[in-house]
Structure 1
Amino acid sequence: MYKLWGKYALSTALVSALLLSGCSSNSGSGSEAKTAEPSEATVNETGFPLTKEPVTLNMFTRIAPLNGPFKDMPVFQDYEKMSNVHVNFTEAPTDGFQEKKNLLFASNELPDAFYRSGITPLEATQYGAVGQLIPLEDLIDKYAPNLKSLMEQYPEIRSAITTPEGHIYAIPGIVTLAAARTDKKWINEAWLKKLGLKEPETTDELYDVLVAFRDKDPNGNGKKDEIPMTARAGLAVVNLMSGSFGLDQQLGYNINLENDKVNIWMGSEKNKEMLMYLNKLYKEKLLDPELFSQKEAQYLAKQGSGNAGFFFDQTNNNFLPIADQYVGIAPPAGPHGDRLQAQTAPVPRDFGAFAISSVNKYPEITMRWIDYFYSDEGSTLLRFGREGEHYELKDGIPYYKEDFLKTDNQPKITPYAGGGAPHLISDKVASYINPPQVQEAQKKLDPYMPKVRYAAPMFDEKTAQEVNILRNDIDKYYEEQSTKFIAGALSFDKWDEFQSTLKKMQIDKLQEMYQAAYDKMEK
């Protein structure tokens, strides 16, 4: 679910937009961060409403395909009555969203705030430096007690969103629930029982189980139509199996941290071992032959078919009708005994979920407005809608009502559907994605979770541009070559050449940049 390859790569259009934004006559001069004009309405520092005088804020947001209009969502209707703040949302669909966001910055036609707009680290640094986004650290300190408390409880949040100059230009979605930060390893328990097999504890045992799934007709239809193992398209399977080969994914990249030393492992022998293992599975038709071509809808359909032996997903929503057929397992130990749950998103999971622009006349009110959603109460309203109508409380935990779930209207009432919304996901507000079966699957992963999952660091503007250029080339090359290694289109006799090319692409320089950023984070 959390694809790392080239995650922060920027398009040519974005680079052009960055340059244009720096030339805008209204964007400020120099590199000093600029703040908004004084508020015209008085903020109430505690309680509701947030202000005595009604206030209107204009926000730019991404709308997912299944969402309804934000103005019709109960969270924003009810919160307006509580807060005395009306929000006009400019909704841009997911397709073409980045281009629309670029244009706003390039033309300096800014909203008051960017909501669920996926501001990247480079965008935050660039647009903050030219004054289009305002620094938030003082506003957080005074007007965001919920967010401030979370940042104190989880110091990795602050390090993930603070620039080297000490500014915070964008705030993330925060996920304290471990089960919402991992893809579980789901195996077909019904097939295991039918074939008299136990849950695999090692990669060798996993191989044997997959062979049995392929050859012993566990679905009982007399055909060899079982899918022993599948995953999301592309290199998601690399993310999900890397921990068994001692390969972690720290700092938002393919990085191991060993004694405070950054090691980008793409050219390592352990990575070669992993790719050889996956090649063996692929060659023997144990790994889905459609791995590199299937669409998301096809992958989800395979989960729900009951005809997949082993796959990965955060929750069980996609196979609920046959959920009893599956069980979560621990990461299998690899050839050197490694058993790490490497595929784990950081607590600050969605960088740049919210930012305030320099045209905003009410930054204090805006910060108080967004801070509510970093509480369990505010998150419940955002995710579940209205008590009695959309959800009911059981032991203090909100659950969607069964009759509401049957309507398929869940994405219409919440901006959470579609991901990336600025709010808190805790154990108190995640019943829909964290039912008992998922909780049990997470318990299998817990002993192998990293103590701290470091998010991608904030680089200074110049370094961020360099990192982006290096990663564009390195990530593309790694993905192309790894796909060929797994699919058997490239012989492992070419591994030395692969390593040599990574060095020519300056992977060592990239590693030095991550090392410097990590050292600053740890000071």
Structure 2
Amino acid sequence: MRRHWGRSALATLIIAGLILAGCSNGGDSKKENNSPPPSTESAVKAEGFPIVDQPIKLKMFTRIAPANGPFKEMPVFQDYEKLSNIQVEFTEAPTDGFAEKKNLLFASNELPDALFRSELNPLETIRYGTAGQLIPLEDLIEEYAPNLKALMEQYPEIRSAITTPEGHIYSIPGIVTTGSARTDKRWINKAWLEKLNLKEPTTTEELYNVLVAFRDGDPNGNGVADEIPMTARNAAAGIIIVNMMAGSFGLDLQLGYNINIEDGKVNIWSGDEKHKELLMYLNRLYKEKLLDQEIFSHTEAQYLAKQGSGNAGLFFDQTNNNFLPIMDQYVGIAPPAGPNGDQMQSAVAPVPRDFGAFAITSVNKHPEATMRWIDYFYSDEGSTLLRFGREGEHYEMRDGVPYYFDDFIAVTGAQGKMTPYAGGGAPHLISDQVASFINPPQVQEAFKKLEPYMPEIRYANPMFDEETAQKVNILRNDIDKYVNEQSTKFIVGALSFDKWEEFQSTLNKMKIDELEGIYQAAYDKMAK
């Protein structure tokens, strides 16, 4: 969700003051702060367990999702403490307000040893790294993270996505090599299609007609017009629904932004006519009550409840976990071709999917052991522990692949109390080996419908130097807030499309061309 401009700007001013204060201590202070402190442990094993012979304690700051129980009670971390000889004390901050608490943590300089599931964005990573609050990790990865190092060699885009222009790595991402875990599927109510004698829609106009039939045809058979033809997650200004339908209007999402790349040229499409055409289509759906009227207000819990109710005609989600009891009612479909024949699955995450998931701070006295601790989760074995818990209690192995016991996943909330995987964003590897829960046959079939329409290359959000990152942040704070607010107004009909030229003019005044030039330069470096 986009952060409110006022709070973001305030945090930026606070942090900028800290950086300036740090710089005033002397010309060499930044260099000294950027080096890991001397390790105090007697020996860190290069491989095997325990990681250290003498127990050590680490403090980590983390986001706790609504689905999670206390981290200290999770069998995952209880068992890993015994295996590694490293005890972790977690400071948990709820998802709501997490960004603000994280910023205040750095602003006050009251740092933990590491940040787990920290959701550091590229600007934060650069800022806190160059300020000396995060330490560079590239040498630690080389010596103490064989699993992560191997993944970076296999997928070079991981290294390029997390390395600063100065050659440092200040945070590491969650890594997703399972293709189906990098994009939401398009789930349509197959039972409703069959009852109304409809075919799967293949174009945006056919989709419109299907949604009309869902609205008017009483497919749930209760005699009440209570069906929700189409819904999606709520994010700031409804960005999710825009992203999910963008590809049908020729709009891609490269470099982590509203960007098309054609013949080596970067185009931020926020003010393009294609974007207008997309918003007009969504306005048509909303105006005719084919698009959920609560799409800009419902909570995550309410959205998931709509999935599980069976009363939604079309929605978007990565997997089928939230509607397992009625899974036979739904089937995945391909992205519909738009009015100009465009047919893309634009909303696709790169292999380094969850940027800034883990970082080590300058107060950490055990950086080597900390790197070994987190590296385990980038192996199939470690990821199995993090995602599945205890073999024989939470899961069983079938043909070398872990599967949850049915009676375990049948207990409401059991998974979130066992593992931080529930709630997303955990620093670990999601491979085919550990993806049985999120990638069952139904999800695999839904992904096959999307795969032909996915981009060959998905460029991640670029890492800028500190000066450029600050400039991008300033430009995007204003531009993104404006685009999201106006997009919502266009969709719900609060703003006439007669105002489109005024919208474009305002974007030009906000220097969207300057922002485009910065992304162009970043892309040129990536494409070399």
Alignment TM-score, normalising by the size of structure 2: 0.94
- Are 1:293 and 2:297 an aligned pair? yes
- Are 1:385 and 2:389 an aligned pair? yes
Contact 1:191 1:218 in 2 (8 A): yes
- 1:476 is paired with a residue whose SS is helix
Which whole-Å CA distance do the structure 1 matches of 2:331 and 2:384 have between them? 28
Residues 1:503 and 1:288: Cα distance change in structure 2 (over 3 Å): same
Residues 1:257 and 1:9: Cα distance change in structure 2 (over 3 Å): farther
Q: Deviations over 1:264-293 (max 9, x none)?
A: 001111111111111121222221222222
Contact 1:276 1:486 in 2 (8 A): yes
- 2:335 is paired with a residue whose SS is coil
Deviation at 1:441, TM superposition (A): 0.6
Q: Letter of the aligned partner of 1:14 in structure 2?
A: A
Q: Can you give the 5+ residue segments of structure 1 that lack an aligned partner in the other structure?
A: none
Q: Letter of the aligned partner of 2:60 in structure 1?
A: M
Corresponding residue to 1:465 among 463, 470, 493: 470
- 2:353 is paired with a residue whose SS is strand
Deviation at 1:124, TM superposition (A): 1.2
Q: Deviations over 1:320-364 (max 9, x none)?
A: 221111100000011121111001112111111111111222211
Residues 1:206 and 1:15: Cα distance change in structure 2 (over 3 Å): same
Q: Out of 439-448 and 153-162, give the one that drifted further.
A: 153-162
- 2:463 is paired with a residue whose SS is coil
Which whole-Å CA distance do the structure 2 matches of 1:89 and 1:100 have between them? 14
Q: Report the counterpart of residue 214 of structure 2 in structure 1.
A: 213
Deviation at 1:36, TM superposition (A): 2.1
- 2:270 is paired with a residue whose SS is coil
Q: Out of 133-142 and 94-103, give the one that drifted further.
A: 94-103
Deviation at 1:413, TM superposition (A): 1.2
Which whole-Å CA distance do the structure 2 matches of 1:516 and 1:503 have between them? 19
Q: Out of 423-432 and 58-67, give the one that drifted further.
A: 58-67
Q: Letter of the aligned partner of 1:217 in structure 2?
A: D
Corresponding residue to 2:8 among 8, 11, 20: 11
Deviation at 1:21, TM superposition (A): 2.9
- 1:158 is paired with a residue whose SS is helix
Contact 2:5 2:478 in 1 (8 A): no
Q: Report the counterpart of residue 491 of structure 1 in structure 2.
A: 496
Contact 1:157 1:347 in 2 (8 A): yes
- 1:369 is paired with a residue whose SS is helix
- 2:142 is paired with a residue whose SS is helix
Q: Out of 25-34 and 261-270, give the one that drifted further.
A: 25-34
Q: Letter of the aligned partner of 1:204 in structure 2?
A: E
Q: Report the counterpart of residue 330 of structure 1 in structure 2.
A: 334
Q: Report the counterpart of residue 44 of structure 1 in structure 2.
A: 45
Q: Letter of the aligned partner of 1:387 in structure 2?
A: E
Which whole-Å CA distance do the structure 1 matches of 2:523 and 2:140 have between them? 26
Q: Report the counterpart of residue 519 of structure 1 in structure 2.
A: 524
Q: Can you give the 5+ residue segments of structure 2 that lack an aligned partner in the other structure?
A: none
Which whole-Å CA distance do the structure 1 matches of 2:23 and 2:465 have between them? 23
Which whole-Å CA distance do the structure 1 matches of 2:272 and 2:158 have between them? 30
Q: Deviations over 1:382-404 (max 9, x none)?
A: 11110001111112111111222
Q: Letter of the aligned partner of 1:60 in structure 2?
A: F
- Are 1:312 and 2:316 an aligned pair? yes
Corresponding residue to 2:264 among 260, 273, 290: 260
Q: Report the counterpart of residue 108 of structure 2 in structure 1.
A: 107
- 2:271 is paired with a residue whose SS is coil
Identity of aligned residues (%): 73
Residues 1:24 and 1:81: Cα distance change in structure 2 (over 3 Å): farther
Residues 1:450 and 1:245: Cα distance change in structure 2 (over 3 Å): same
Residues 1:8 and 1:122: Cα distance change in structure 2 (over 3 Å): farther
Q: Report the counterpart of residue 246 of structure 2 in structure 1.
A: 242
For residues 360-375 of structure 1, what are the structure 2 equivalents within 5 Å? 360-375=364-379
- 2:433 is paired with a residue whose SS is coil
Alignment RMSD (CA, Å): 2.0
Deviation at 1:477, TM superposition (A): 1.1
Residues 1:319 and 1:36: Cα distance change in structure 2 (over 3 Å): same
Which whole-Å CA distance do the structure 2 matches of 1:426 and 1:334 have between them? 33
